[in-house]
Structure 1
Amino acid sequence: MKIKTEFPHKIQTIKHIWIPMPDGCRLAARIWLPENAEQQPVPTILEYIPYRKNDGTALRDSLYHPYFAGHGYAAMRVDMRGSGDSEGVMLDEYLQQELDDAVSVITWLVEQSWCDGSVGMIGKSWGGFNSLEVAALQPPALKAIITVCSSDDRYSDDVHYKGGCVLSTDMLGWSTTMLAWNARPPDPAVLGESWRDRWLERLEQTPLMVQEWISHQHRDDYWKHGSICEDYSAVQCAVYAVGGWADPYSNAIPRMLSGLTCPRKALIGPWAHEYPQRALPGPQIGFVQECLRWWDYWLKNIENGIMEEPQLRAWMPDSIAPSTHYEERPGRWVAEEKWPPKNDESQTWYLNRNGLNQNVDTDKPMLFPTSQTVGLNAGVWFPMGAAGEFPGDQRSADSGSLCFTSEAFYEGMEILGNPEATVMLSADQTEGLLAARLCDIAPDGSSLLVSWGLLNLTHRNGHEKPEALDPGEKFTAKIQLNACAHALKSGHRWRLSLSSAYFPHAWPSSKLTKLKIFPGIDTYLNLPFRKIPQEDTQLADFLEPECSQPLSTEEIRTASRKRTLEHEVIEDCFTLTHRVDNGRFRFVEDGLETEDLSCDSLSLNEDKPLSLKVCCERTAGIGRGDWQTRVEASGTMTATSENFHVTSRLEVFEGDQRFFFRTWDFKVPREGV
């Protein structure tokens, strides 16, 4: 990535400023300004997240925000209430308090002498979520947002549930991460002698978020809050939605293009959960330059043609050998003038004993395998692009699934959108789940995962009111797979693989449910077949990635990661362990040191769905010179047929002395999950 040190405007940095909230709480912010902004006010770009401006995102912030300031914008990073150096306590994700604070920040911004009254918001993940949610509140100064790797639906597409199934890899894991991150102290260099009192106040009120999340197992008012899909019309400012096919939030982008009525545009690359100028797999693009085009049009009224371009631009990946890591995904950029596209069509493929066929064939019912460990090579749910995170060859998972494979295609085929399977089933229990995987089968037999989906079968008629299954009775279930793009190579085949479990992603049903599938006119796969439009050949290239000068750091401990699978043969127990050490480094400018370590372990006995145990550990260190702090958080989650059981522990140190300690131990009844 090219580092830029000279810009059209000289840059002034305000490292710390307090923003007062109506209730007296103060939020901490860092601002980058063009030097002449007091004389010539400029629009402001706001990023509002809980990940700590002084250390957590300081390096990342230095790549983008000064770049914006150097091109004539004020750029501001705000620590949300209860995070970083800000006062108060953060009790959960996306609470009304968080959104109200953001509106107050925007109100404060337009009152500043250097702001011309126009504001844009940008954010990835949490910041992408809340930029959508704040937009729905319609603060007058907010003219446009760029939402990256986010979702419009907090129940169906976030780290807690998918298809009504508990995400066993991330429900507890994300809660443990937030427990550790929330418990980090404010910086004494900013707060002075009051830092320790503020820290203790934060620790005493820090919640265990999983307790709330696992108590809302259906789509209720808790999840509807902050889900803009409940009322797309509330969002009236311009929206640029950005994501990647390897990111878990890709579904939201086509939904928002279809549902929003405001000016909107979307970009989907091959990327995992990262900003596109440094995301893997590549190719990376000049994303900050693309952002500037958006801001110039909506915040400065510069006619640059960005809104005359196709509404959706997406990467079309080619067939490739399966791997748990890619530096690049071969393919090409494609475009759709509008979404949903007018010229594309769905192709229907029927499931029967001969595979995937376009002719209906009524066969005898087929029984699903009952393996509980299908999915061991599914990769991580939340990939950042690191080694070992992507799904490997799916042949082992296919061997434990009911598979339907097409004949080879000799002209190739492109899909873009959400594949969807409709199946006629029966079950021998009152509950169960269905996992579906769409794979590209190469001539050598290797199986490349293209898309996948989950459905809690008690949610077959909706996520708000689960309905128990009638054992032995037939029912129809529709399962939508993740939005995807894929160019099937000549000589390759499609495969739809169905299973009644998907470890480690989906928490197993409480019983070993046996499913039957009934081939016929009610059992089929719809593929979003794409006709190649003229726009594909008329696309301008993206610019090469650029950034501003990154903060200088010194490495104290090298980062490392390890992902291992252990099989204990006597008990037939599989244990998947993922260890990440992000290293320890020091910011040269102020001597602040930071480290972050995690370990997630999931174990499950084959054919024993109640044996699943999830264990998560987190360590977060912050310090400078003689001042050193350490946070250790851990948790376990198990289940019986009646309850989920969670235990967690938080231990905090100043130097070698324990400063705070707390434990949690609770049970929550299972409600069909």
Structure 2
Amino acid sequence: MAALCLLFSQLGFGQSALTLPDTLNYHIADSVIIKAPNGITLSAVVVRKKGAPLKQPTALMYFIYSDTKRSLAEAKYSADHGYVGIVADSRGKRLSPDDMVPYEKEVEDVNAVINWIVQQPWSDGSVGMYGGSYSGFAQWAATKNLNPALKTIVPYVAAIPGLGLPMENNIFLLANYQWAFYVTNNKYTDNGVNDDGARWRKMRNKWWQSGLPFNKVDSLDGTANPWFQKWLLHPDYDAYWQAMVPFKQEFSKINIPVLTITGYYDDGQVSALEYLTEHYKYLPNAEHYLIIGPYDHFGAQQGGIPNLKGYQVDDVALINTREITFQWMDYILKGGQKPKLLKDKINFEVMGANTWRHVPSMGKMESSKIRFYLDKSGTEYRLSAVKPTKSHFMDQSVDLADRNSTNNDYYPDPIIKNELDRSNGLFFLSQPFDSAVSLSGKLEGVLKAIINKGDMDIGLTLYELTPDGQYFQLSYFLGRASYAHDMTQRKLLVPGKEETIPFHRSRVFSKQLKKGSRLLLVLNIDKNPFAQINYGTGKEVSRESILDAGQALKIKWSTGSFIDLGISRIN
């Protein structure tokens, strides 16, 4: 069992210089040292409210972005809500002398903190965890070997290393390239390096123009990035990534209540919802609730902002994430009332309708499904609700060596656009809806194609084209064709053979569409400075260069391709 090493004051806690109101109202220890049985050392901030019961449940946040002031604020918030508030720093951070190893040791380290907590005289033996992004990941890591004292988790926008970042659907991205420097350059965070947008833009553009392999990015930047290089050695979702969070049957053992919170425009939504999907897959009676609405990665952690990337968010969508978190904690740990928003397992805000809906499962978000086929008539590409009577193909050609243009402009910023770049990609347009409808759920379906290479990286972006000509982005998908059937093992395409490529790990959304609105689906190949370029040779993509481009990628998309969406008509 973990042992506590700290200087005891007469209050039973180590204490440093604090403001007078703090010392009057709280028992505070901001320099707690936790020694674990495996020999590593972790640090934490612990706060109790004066006058609180002798024994209380603990609200734990496990944190890699070490900041003593912020940790104290978090812990005091928990104490104000009737808990022992603890913010623990990950291995190597703040007061820990050990090496920093992001993602790799949280399974054991978080549980070492929980074991320490339940030995303390103020613990009632129950722990609830909460927090966003990395802290959301840390909660799921802890459940891989579920500690009996861990009674609930509330992960916001939780990451899955190897699925949402640093790669998505097996495509390595550059969006978080600087993150390893940000969290490992010192014991706290290197805000200067993280905020140096000019440096990272220069690096991306230099790599893009050079045509060098993706694994040379750090050499172009001029600073070695060993974590980036380590991650590139694992393009499959292999044992390295699988060891970090629950995988497959391990979800069946997670029998504690869970409240997941994420957003339609959360960059990490694919990860957050993968946890939920897998939990229900392997434990169908799981007590797992979801809150999802028009939030981005940071907005979901506070409950939304009124204007999100140019979209005026519905008033009802603006919530208080932390208040709901502690209402949930009270419900699970103290027998309190369930948060009012949680009227069923899946709770989602319908954009444009200014209302929340509540259903028992993701598959019930709408009353029925509608299938649209990718079709072409003359020069017009169509999303057809009727299956083509005769299969034919639609041609696309992408010169992967060309650096004068980029493909796949999928990122939703702004969410509402007045026009789209139509210089590349195929644009499939539906007929206008003859009444108002709501669409909810994933963008999912099957693509069928013949290509002249062994692989390709696919982008799909779904828009509502409003009657007044605006494009409202609903969802997108980004993924590597060779991993479409199994993200743990690459299976190359056979040039010249029609291949079936299913997709489903896209962004979930919910939106009420006006009468006269159309759907627009943009189908494209991912080729831009923000991610690996898959030249289709079949070699490890991070080692391919522009010299591997060869002839242009030639694709024949079959009219047997389709997308499925959840739909309900509004009378």
**TM-score (norm. length: structure 2):** 0.76
1:527 corresponds to which residue? Answer: 565
Task: Give, in angstroms, the shift of residue 426 of structure 1.
Answer: 0.8
The equivalent residue for 1:233 is 252
Does the alignment pair 1:163 with 2:176? no
C-alpha RMSD of the superposition:
2.9
* CA apart distance, 1:365: 1.7
- 1:249 and 2:289 are equivalent in the alignment: no
Tell me which protein shows more strand as a share of its residues. Answer: 1
Please list the CA deviations of residues 120-160 of structure 1 after superposition, one character each: whole Å capped at 9, or x if unmatched: 11121111011012023111111111101114x5333x222
* TM-score in terms of structure 1 length: 0.65
1:67-466 alignment, distance < 5 Å:
67-91=77-101, 93-95=102-104, 97-151=105-159, 153-156=160-163, 158-170=164-176, 172-180=177-185, 208-230=226-248, 231-260=250-279, 261=283, 262-274=286-298, 275-277=300-302, 279-280=304-305, 281=308, 283-304=317-338, 309-318=343-352, 331-341=354-364, 344-354=367-377, 355-361=382-388, 362=390, 364-370=392-398, 373-374=405-406, 377-379=409-411, 389-391=413-415, 393=417, 395-466=419-490
Aligned counterparts of 2:267 and 2:523: Cα–Cα separation in 1: 20
Q: Do the aligned residues in 1 keep the contact of 2:467 with 2:517 (CA within 8 Å)?
A: yes
Q: In the alignment, which residue of structure 2 is the partner of 1:34?
A: 49
How far does the alpha carbon of each residue in 1:462-492 deviate from its partner, in whole angstroms, 9 at most, with x for none? 2233222222221111222322222222221
What is the alpha-carbon distance in structure 2 between the residues aligned to residue 347 and residue 266 of structure 1? 24
Counterpart for residue 563 of structure 1: none
Instruction: Give the AA of the match of 2:520.
Output: R
Name the residue aligned to 2:199: none
More displaced 10-residue stretch of structure 1: 140-149 or 62-71:
62-71
**Mapping 1:548-587, distance limit 5 Å:** none
Which amino acid is 1:248 matched to?
Answer: D
- Is the contact between residue 123 and residue 146 of structure 1 (CA under 8 Å) also seen in structure 2? yes
Contact preservation (8 Å) 1:457, 1:477: yes
Paired residue type of 1:517: W
Aligned mates of 2:291, 2:72 — CA distance in 1: 24
Q: CA deviation at 1:390?
A: 4.2
Does 2:528 match 1:503? yes
Measured in 2, the distance between the counterparts of 1:278 and 1:82 equals: 31
Q: Quick check: 1:485 aligned with 2:510?
A: yes
Secondary structure at 1:469 match in 2: coil
Cα distance between partner residues in 2 of 1:290 and 1:100: 28
| Deviation per residue, 1:168-214 (Å, 9 max, x gap) | 333x33334344356869xxxxxxxxxxxxxxxxxxxx972111110
Q: Equivalent residue of 1:418, what SS?
A: strand
Question: How many Å apart are 1:253 and its aligned residue?
Answer: 4.8
Whether 1:46 and 2:60 are equivalent positions in the alignment is yes
Segments of structure 1 that go 5 or more residues without pairing to the other structure are 1-5, 186-205, 319-329, 381-388, 534-673
Contact conserved, 2:31 with 2:95, CA < 8 A, in 1? Answer: no
> What is the CA distance between 1:110 and its match in structure 2?
1.1
The SS at the match of 2:297 is coil
Residue 243 of structure 1 contacts residue 269 of structure 1 at CA under 8 Å; is this kept in 2? yes
Q: State the Cα distance separating 1:11 from its structure 2 match.
A: 3.2
Q: Secondary structure at the match of 1:104?
A: helix
Q: How many residues align?
A: 476
Give the counterpart letter for 2:57 in structure 1. P
8 Å contact kept, 2:45–2:72:
no
Rounded Cα–Cα distance in structure 1 between residues aligned with 2:515 and 2:531: 33
Q: Shift of the alpha carbon at 1:86?
A: 1.9
The corresponding residue for 1:622 is none
3-state SS of the aligned residue for 1:131? helix
Distance 1:251 1:414 in 2: 22
Write the letter of the residue equivalent to 1:357.
Answer: S
The one-character-per-residue Cα deviations of 1:492-544 (angstroms, maximum 9, x if unpaired) are 1001111122534442222341211121xx321111224789xxxxxxxxxxx
Which residue in the other structure is 2:5 paired with?
Answer: none
Per the alignment, in what secondary structure is the counterpart of residue 175 of structure 2?
coil
Residue 324 of structure 1 is matched in structure 2 by: none
* Identity percentage of aligned residues: 22
Distance 1:31 1:477, change over 3 A: same
Question: Does the 8 Å CA contact 2:162/2:168 hold for their aligned counterparts?
Answer: yes
Q: Which has the higher helix share?
A: 2
1:53–1:78: 8 Å Cα contact kept in structure 2?
A: no
* Separation (CA, whole Å) in 1 of partners of 2:47 and 2:368: 48
1:51 Cα shift?
A: 0.9
Which residues of structure 2 form unaligned runs of 5+?
1-20, 191-223, 536-548
- The one-letter code sitting in structure 1 at the alignment partner of 2:180 is S
Bigger mean CA offset, 430-439 vs 121-130: 430-439
- The whole-number CA distance in structure 2 between the counterparts of 1:224 and 1:436 is 27
1:149–1:243: 8 Å Cα contact kept in structure 2? yes
C-alpha change, 1:118 and 1:207, in structure 2 (3 Å) is: farther
Which amino acid letter does the alignment assign opposite residue 79 of structure 1? D
